[in-house]
Amino acid sequence: MSSRKILITGGAGFIGAHAASRFLREGWQVGILDDFNDFYDPAIKEDNVAKLHGAAEIFRGDIRDTGVVKQAMNAGWDTVLHLAARAGVRPSIVDPGLYIETNVMGTFNVLEAARRAGVRRFLFASSSSVYGAEAQTPFRESAALVRTLSPYAATKIAGEQLCSSYAHLHGMRVVSLRFFTVYGPGQRTDLAIHKFTRALFEGLPIDQYGEGQTRRDYTYVDDIVQGVRAAADYEGPAYEVFNLGGSHTVSLSELIKKLEVATGREAIVRLCPEQPGDMPATWAEITKARELLGYAPDTTIDEGLAKFVHWYQTDRAV
Ligand code: NAD
């Protein structure tokens, strides 16, 4: 449907820029609301937006500012993809207040403005970290969200609950999407695959936290965006939660070995203590997303790492 209009908060960031490209390719009108903050080098976000060649309407502003959000929202969007957030577990332990202001109050501001503007569909970027220490692997959407391990995870749980209440009270169709460690071209510089690749090419040590046995369900960004796109057409209950993961796990030491292969370099591993707040393992059960969204991740970790390393060598902004 070429007439559909989507506002992507956080659209200048890693996942947002990929999502914006996909929606634009399909003929949607796309708006981006982003404050281009310096959580990582803002030149990367400027480059992400420049690569959209002026096709998206850009609103520069902070979701903590209700006036800014209201202004961006009042352009007749039928769908909102809410990605803007402070991401990352470890920095949320250092500055929990910033995470709560941005991810909880900011999400409230975006939901409230969307409701007032008559937005019909709202997609919320949640996270595998909501599952905490208690959930059994593979994680199912029905698991109780207890023993939460970080302020970041707590803000994502709060965001989901706000979404649920808005769907219930205001008839807005809302989908929370729990992303599992997303990687690919443009990946955030603070995440393991990006940090390790840089270290490998620069001959610097890789910090391995713990024994290397922690496991992650790494998910290629194009697969995530396929799930997001499908969620924009979802016609089920007013509120729904889906895992978007790759459904395969890799240990930290296996990841380092795979990156050695992908880069052709040998790693210098520096052993560091386990980090408080980190999940011991993440692993998505994706049957629900497969059945109800037609979600079908098909990028293997080896293919995805090869694509990431190619991008790192040929196309990164900084
Ligand atoms: P990112 O940091 O690259 O993107 C987030 C964007 O939001 C950035 O461009 C940033 O400038 C913007 N933003 C942050 N605070 C803002 C504010 N107050 N006002 C306006 N814009 C603001 O991160 P990403 O990896 O693309 O993540 C996107 C979303 O997905 C986030 O909500 C994140 O929590 C969630 N998520 C990501 C992963 C992952 O592995 N990358 C996993 C689970 C969940």
Q: List the chain domain ranges.
A: 5-182+220-245+284-297
| CATH 3.40.50.720, applies to 5-182+220-245+284-297 | yes
Question: Digits of tens for pLDDT over the chain (318 positions)?
Answer: 457 999 999 999 999 999 999 999 999 999 999 999 999 999 999 999 999 999 999 999 999 999 999 999 999 999 999 999 999 999 999 999 999 999 999 999 999 999 999 999 999 999 999 999 988 999 999 999 999 999 999 999 999 999 999 999 998 999 999 999 999 999 999 999 999 999 999 999 999 999 999 999 999 999 999 999 999 999 999 999 999 999 999 999 999 999 999 999 999 999 999 888 888 999 999 999 999 999 999 999 999 999 999 999 999 988
CA–CA dist 147, 263 (Å, integer) = 38
Looking at residue 247, the DSSP 8-state letter turns out to be S
How far apart, in whole angstroms, are the C-alpha atoms of residue 262 and residue 308? 9
Q: Per the confidence metrics, is the pTM higher than 0.75?
A: yes
| 152 within ligand 1 shell (Cβ under 6 A) | no
- CA-closest residue to ligand 1 atom 41: 182
Q: Using CA positions, which residue lies closest to atom 11 of ligand 1?
A: 36
Q: Which of 210, 309, 219, 208 is nearest to 268 (CA)?
A: 208
The DSSP letter of residue 6 is E
Residue 258 pLDDT: 98
What local confidence, expressed as pLDDT, does residue 57 receive?
A: 98
189 Cβ below 6 A of ligand 1: no
Alpha carbon nearest to ligand 1 atom 4, residue: 13
pLDDT in the model for residue 163: 98
Instruction: Determine the pLDDT at residue 318.
Output: 87
DSSP state of 139: B
Please identify, by atom number, the ligand 1 atom nearest to the C-alpha of residue 88: 34
Q: Which of 59, 55, 57, 58 is nearest to 24 (CA)?
A: 55
